[in-house]
Amino acid sequence: MKITRRSVLGTAAAAAAAGALPSQPARAANKKLTIGVCSDFSGPYSDIGGETSVACVRQALQDFGAANKGYDITVIQGDHQNKPDVGAGLARQWFDNGVDLLIDVPNSAVALAIAGVAAEKNKTYINSNAGTTLLTGAKCNAQTIHWTYDTYMLAHSTGGAMVAAGGKKWFFITANYAFGQLLRDQTSAVVKAAGGTVVGDVDYPFPQTTDFSSYLVQAQSAGANVLGLANAGKDTVNSIKQAHQFGITQSGMTIAGLLIFLNDIHGIGLETAQGLVLTESFYWNLNERTRAFTKRVLPKTPANYPSMGHAGCYSGTMHFLKAVDKIGVDAAASGAAVVTQMKSMPTDDDAFGHCSIREDGRFMCPSFLFRVKKPGQSSIPWDYYDLVHTTPADQTFQPMATEGCPLVKA
Amino acid sequence: MLMIFGKPLPLLFGQLLLGIINGSFYAMLSMGLAIIFGLLRIINFAHGALFMVGAFVTWGLLTYLSLDFWWALFLAPVIVGAFGLLLERTLIRRIYKLDILYGLLLTFGLALILQGGFTNYFGSSGVSYNAPDALSGVVNLGFMYLPVYRGFVIFAAILVCGATWFLIEKTRLGALLRAATANPGLVQSFGVNVPRLIALTFAFGVGLAGLAGVLAAPLYSVNPNMGSDLINTVFAVVVIGGMGSIGGAILSGFALGIIEGFTDVFYPPGSAVVVFVVMAIVLLARPAGLFGKLA
Q: Which residues of B touch A (CB under 8 A)?
A: 8, 10-11, 14-15, 18, 21-22, 116, 119, 123-128, 130-131, 138, 144-145, 147, 149-150, 218-221, 223, 225-226, 229-230, 232, 261, 264-265, 268-273
Q: With H, G, I as helix, E, B as strand and everything else as coil, classify residue B46.
A: coil
Best to test chain A binding among B9, B29, B124 (most A CBs inside 10 Å): B124
The CATH number that domain A152-284+366-396 falls under is 3.40.50.2300
With beta carbons less than 8 A apart as the criterion, state whether A365 and A397 touch. no
Closest residue on chain A to B13 (Cα): A217
Q: How confident is the model at residue A190, as a pLDDT?
A: 94
| Other beta carbons within 10 Å of A134 | 22
Please determine, for residue B170, whether its predicted confidence score (pLDDT) is greater than 70. Answer: yes
Closest residue on chain B to A176 (Cα): B269
Q: Is A362 on the interface with B (CB under 8 A)?
A: no
Q: Is A363 on the interface with B (CB under 8 A)?
A: no
Give the closest of B124, B147, B219 to A43, CB-based: B124
Domain boundaries, chain A: 5-149+287-365, 152-284+366-396
Would residue A328 be called left, alpha or beta, if left means φ above 0 and alpha means ψ between -120 and 50 degrees?
left
Does this chain's domain A5-149+287-365 share its CATH topology with A152-284+366-396? Answer: yes
What's the pTM? Answer: 0.78
With beta carbons under 8 A apart, name residues in chain B contacting A50.
124
With beta carbons less than 8 A apart as the criterion, state whether B128 and A234 touch. no
Helices A308-327 and A335-344 pack at an angle, to 10 degrees, of 100
Say if the Cβ atoms of B220 and A245 lie within 8 Å: no
Beta bridge pairs of residue A254 = A226
Q: Is A241 on the interface with B (CB under 8 A)?
A: yes
Q: How confident is the model at residue B184, as a pLDDT?
A: 78
Closest CA to A151 of A108, A87, A198, A197: A108
Best to test chain B binding among A217, A240, A250, A301 (most B CBs inside 10 Å): A217
Task: Pinpoint the alpha helices (H) of chain B.
Answer: 9-40, 47-65, 69-90, 100-122, 148-170, 172-182, 184-189, 194-216, 226-241, 246-266, 274-285
Question: Rounded to the nearest 5°, which phi and psi values hold at B146?
Answer: -110, 120
For range B102-108, the mean pLDDT: 91
Q: How confident is the model at residue B159, as a pLDDT?
A: 93
Rounded-to-integer distance, Cα A35 and Cα A163, Å: 42
Question: Rounded to the nearest 5°, which phi and psi values hold at B163?
Answer: -65, -40
Give the closest of B119, B125, B149 to A237, CB-based: B125
With beta carbons under 8 A apart, name residues in chain A contacting B126.
234, 237, 267
Beta bridge pairs of residue A127 = A104, A146
Closest CA to B55 of B195, B176, B193, B218: B218
For residue A386, the distance in angstroms to the closest alpha carbon of chain B comes to: 22
Best to test chain B binding among A209, A214, A268 (most B CBs inside 10 Å): A214
With beta carbons under 8 A apart, name residues in chain B contacting A203.
268-269
The CATH number that domain A5-149+287-365 falls under is 3.40.50.2300
Q: How confident is the model at residue B294, as a pLDDT?
A: 57
Question: Rounded to the nearest 5°, which phi and psi values hold at A292?
Answer: -65, -45
Say if the Cβ atoms of B123 and A263 lie within 8 Å: yes
Beta bridge pairs of residue B3 = B8
Label residue B125 by pLDDT band (50, 70, 90): low
* Sign of the alpha-carbon dihedral angle for A194, A195, A199, A200: positive
Task: Please give the span between the terminal C-alpha atoms of chain A, in angstroms, as a whole number.
Answer: 74
Label residue B143 by pLDDT band (50, 70, 90): confident
Q: Can you spell out the DSSP letters for A267-285?
A: HH-HHHHTT-EEEES--TT
Say if the Cβ atoms of A263 and B147 lie within 8 Å: no
Rounded-to-integer distance, Cα A157 and Cα A256, Å: 11
With beta carbons less than 8 A apart as the criterion, state whether A126 and A145 touch. yes
Please tell me which residue, A295 or B122, carries the higher pLDDT value: A295
Best to test chain B binding among A51, A52, A173, A245 (most B CBs inside 10 Å): A245
Task: Please give the span between the terminal C-alpha atoms of chain B, in angstroms, as a whole number.
Answer: 51
Rounded-to-integer distance, Cα B267 and Cα B265, Å: 6
Closest residue on chain B to A246 (Cα): B147
Non-local (6+) Cβ contacts of A373 within 8 A are: A270, A274, A383, A384, A385, A386
Closest CA to B18 of B143, B161, B127: B143
Q: Is A237 on the interface with B (CB under 8 A)?
A: yes
Give the closest of A203, A266, A271 to B125, CB-based: A266
Closest residue on chain A to B227 (Cα): A210
Rounded-to-integer distance, Cα A140 and Cα A236, Å: 28
Rounded-to-integer distance, Cα A178 and Cα A132, Å: 7
Best to test chain A binding among B16, B112, B115, B125 (most A CBs inside 10 Å): B125
With beta carbons less than 8 A apart as the criterion, state whether A313 and A57 touch. yes
Sheet holding A347-349, edge to edge: A347-349, A353-357, A363-364
**Dihedral angle at the C-alpha atoms of A281, A284, A289, A292, nearest 10 degrees?**
150
Rounded-to-integer distance, Cα A280 and Cα A259, Å: 8
Return averaged pLDDT per consecutive 10 residues of chain A, 410 residues in all: 49 44 47 95 85 96 94 94 92 96 95 96 97 94 96 94 90 92 94 93 84 88 90 87 83 89 90 90 96 96 94 97 95 95 97 96 96 91 94 93 86
Distance of CA B232 to the CA centre of its chain: 11
Say if the Cβ atoms of B126 and A234 lie within 8 Å: yes
Domain boundaries, chain B: 23-225
Closest residue on chain A to B118 (Cα): A42
pLDDT in tens, B201-236: 899 999 999 999 999 998 877 888 888 878 888 999
Q: Is A245 on the interface with B (CB under 8 A)?
A: yes
Q: How confident is the model at residue A265, as a pLDDT?
A: 93
Percent of chain B residues past pLDDT 90, beyond the cut: 39
Residue A261: is it exposed, middle or buried by C-beta count within 10 angstroms (0-12/13-18/19+)? Answer: buried
Q: How confident is the model at residue B242, as a pLDDT?
A: 85
Q: Is A42 on the interface with B (CB under 8 A)?
A: yes
Residue B225: which H helix or E strand, with range?
Answer: none
